[in-house]
Amino acid sequence: MPWAVVDFPSIALGILRRSVAKAMPDVEIETLYANIAYADWIAEHHEFGSADYRFYAEDSYFLGCGDWVFSSSLHDTHEWRVGDYAELMAGRVSDQRLRTSSVLHGLSGRFVRDIAERVAALEPDVVGFTTTFQQNAATLAAAREIKKLDPRIVTVLGGANCDGVQGAALHRNYPFVDFVVRGEGELAFPQVLGAIRDGGSVLDVPGLCWRDANGTSVANAMTMRPLSPSDMVMPDYDAYFDQWAPSRVANWAAPVLVVEAARGCWWGEKHHCTFCGLNGSFMQFRSKSPATFFDEIVTLARRHQILDVCVVDNILDMSYLSSLVPSLIESGYDLRFHYEIKSNLRLDQLRLLAQAGIVTVQPGIESLSSHVLRLMDKGVSGCQNVRLLRDASTAGVVTSWNYLYGFPGETSQDYETVLAQIPALHHLMPPETVNRIAIERFSPYFDRPELGFADLKPTAQNSLIYGLPEEELLDISYIFDAAPRGIDENAADRLREVLDGWRDEARKSRLTQCDLGHRIVLVSRRAHFDWTVLVIDDPVECAAFRLLEQPRRVQSLVSKLSAQCGRDISLPDLEGLLRRWRALGLIFEDDGQIIHVVPEAVNGELLRVGAAVDAHETGRPEPSMPRA
């Protein structure tokens, strides 16, 4: 259902379709992308485009705008909490978005009836819904309408919104939902279908919510054993591409293949990041064999003629660097991947990823302050995160990351020391967004009040969407409201202002180095620094610069530099050099560590969209190369 994104096939539907076909080959299966149907439908009733859909599907997630649109259908009234919603969203969304939301809210019931009639006309025995992010209200509304049209149809819910107590709460509050599958569904969903077909018992289906003879909701205990990699099947996306091709969304964006190599998080098993709830009930890391995953990628790419691939794993299996990645390189296929990685990868590892076509990564940087990163339990330092940004630029890998704040124990100084150095980073990839952390179910901040968030409440928008008592909302919700911690809004505004400036400057900023052995030539084009070419040709300075490819403490740098040069390098001389480099914007310092911020010159900045336009508009010529 809406608001699943329309340019990605649903990996949940694809996996479940193949799992059911494998377990029950005699069962007839239809897959419906009602999100695509909605995009076509709403465009006929209201001016609506790809940016509008993206707002409700992604941009407004923490505001719940997408779910509120379908709350009128869920409660069967066009006027459901309209005034309350307008009051809550005032100043949080634009007046235009508020007007559009009101129109969509009024129309949603008509779409739900249309889609329910379309489903009921197929005369199915079972209708299963997958619900993640802002799909709950639309899913519940459709299940309710289908049940009204034909009470014999069995309704089943699953997906991330049904994990743990969330699924149990959905089941007991909405009697038109017959079953809720909690947790991984590859084995459980076929079991439920078998029980429905054969009149068998569902008592032994782990995690399943069902109703006894009295209509009372019963929740089976969830399994403690995560799905093994051998049971993780390749998704079937035929239905998506059949429905995408004739739709107007085919003109919005090119589709992307969605694949899965692993589940869980190997870092989270050891150190669960305090704010992260993404892995739900199963943190245990499991991954497919490299050969199996490679075959799945190639099979799907060939079948659907799609080269862009999004890997939905929470983190890269590091063993793939010596198995899957070389296979991708040797294949010679022109595939382009997005992958989530840990931010401590080295330059040689990033270059391997780039050679394999893994050209966009989400490294989970989140902050450039070591103190704040320790509060997150990220296991990396601020300098390591800067190294990742610098080396990704050298390797030609695009980084996608967000800056988070609002951690108990952080101070404004944690940010001021970083913000003062941001102009030196303008040539590197800036964060896409700046956000105060939200408290997510399954995160340590949710499970351990002693970490600083003991006053959690359901979000105000969830109260408007569901209209349930607070104790039920506490179980249904994934995101929670809490009193803000960490820096105040004045400091947060300062953070946003500086990072917005980074984004503005990034396209037209440049800093690169060319190491010629006997000298290192640097070229800079950054608004806050008035030099363009610098030549480092003193042997000691060259050695110091190369040593700062890795984060170093001053005393360690002195020792290593003295050993390399065969003579004692004095601390005052080194500190003088660092002061000069600091003024030139060549280094980043945090928590006693120093690293240089200069990527290798690989012409990567010339490939940026708008690079030529920026040079023309600013009138800045490419610098010549004399010795400074």
Cα torsion through 360, 377, 227, 7, rounded to 10: -30
Q: What are the tokens at 91? A: 């100043």
* CB distance 309 to 259 below 8 Å: yes
Strands, DSSP E only, in 175-306? 179-180, 209-211, 217-219, 257-259, 262-263, 286-287
CATH topology classification for 510-618:
Arc Repressor Mutant, subunit A (1.10.10)
Q: How many CB atoms lie within 10 A of CB 135?
A: 27
90-96 contacts: CB < 8 A, separation 24 or more? 92/63, 93/60, 93/63, 93/65
Is residue 574 classed as helix, strand or coil in its secondary structure? helix
Instruction: Report which DSSP code applies to 622.
Output: P
Q: What is the Cα–Cα distance from 309 to 587, expressed in whole angstroms?
A: 35
* CB distance 125 to 154 below 8 Å: yes
Look up residue 62 and give its amino acid: F
Residue with tokens 């990033």: 350
Predicted local distance difference test score (pLDDT) of residue 606: 53
List C-alpha distances in Å: 286 to 304, 361, 465: 27, 20, 36
Is residue 78 classed as helix, strand or coil in its secondary structure? coil
Q: What is the Cα–Cα distance from 12 to 158, expressed in whole angstroms?
A: 9
pLDDT in tens, 532-547: 999 999 999 999 999 9
Look up residue 83 and give its amino acid: G
pLDDT in tens, 8-38: 999 999 999 999 999 999 999 999 999 999 9
Predicted local distance difference test score (pLDDT) of residue 205: 97
What DSSP letter does each residue of 381-393 carry, written as one string? Answer: -HHHHHHHHHHHH
Predicted local distance difference test score (pLDDT) of residue 604: 58
Give me the residue spans of the domains in the chain: 11-223, 256-440, 510-618
Predicted local distance difference test score (pLDDT) of residue 603: 67
* Chosen CATH of 256-440 out of 3.30.1460.30, 3.20.20.70, 3.30.465.10, 3.40.605.10: 3.20.20.70
Predicted local distance difference test score (pLDDT) of residue 602: 86
pLDDT block averages, 10 residues each, the chain of length 628: 97 98 96 98 95 96 96 95 95 95 97 98 98 97 98 98 98 98 96 96 97 97 93 97 97 96 96 93 94 98 98 97 98 96 97 97 97 97 98 96 98 97 98 96 96 95 96 97 96 98 96 96 97 96 98 96 92 95 98 98 60 38 32
Query: pTM of the full predicted structure?
Result: 0.93
Query: How many angstroms separate the first and last alpha carbons of the chain?
Result: 61
* H-helix or E-strand spanning residue 479: strand 479-481
Predicted local distance difference test score (pLDDT) of residue 613: 37
